[in-house]
Amino acid sequence: MNDNSARPAFPDRLSVNPRSPHYHAAVFEHEVGINLNGKERLNVEEYCISEGWITVPAGKTLDRKGMPMMIKVKGVVEPFYRD
């Protein structure tokens, strides 16, 4: 039932924002999870495996364009498919 061959490989850098050049729609056809330093993070907006960071929203603060302010958290990034 778990056919891993149909799932695309994770890119080095991935963003959930469709306007980003690092957005890959094929990856988001499946549910994606991110582990940072062995703990699952649920609010990740973007990650980079080779540089070892993720970006997460900084509370309720917004920038001047109405987008959430992001902070970068560093560590060991491990993406995985949940289903």
Structure-block tokens of residue 65? 């364009």
Is there a domain that residue 31 lies in? Answer: yes
Q: Is 28 helix (H, G, I), strand (E, B) or coil?
A: helix
Tell me, what DSSP letter sits at residue 42? S
Specify the pLDDT at position 5. Answer: 63
Is there a domain that residue 2 lies in? Answer: no
Residue 6 CB-density burial (10 A; 0-12 exposed, 13-18 middle, 19+ buried): exposed
Q: Whole-model pTM?
A: 0.83
CB 12 within 8 A of CB 52: no
Mean pLDDT of 60-77: 94
Q: For residues 5 and 19, give the distance between their C-alpha atoms in angstroms, rounded to a whole number.
A: 28
User: Could you read off the pLDDT of 22-49 as tens digits, one per residue?
Assistant: 999 999 999 999 999 999 999 999 999 9
Number of domains in the chain: 1
Is there a domain that residue 20 lies in? Answer: yes
Mean pLDDT of 43-57: 96
Is there a domain that residue 51 lies in? Answer: yes
Domain that holds residue 51: 8-81
Q: Which of 45, 29, 13 is nearest to 82 (CA)?
A: 29
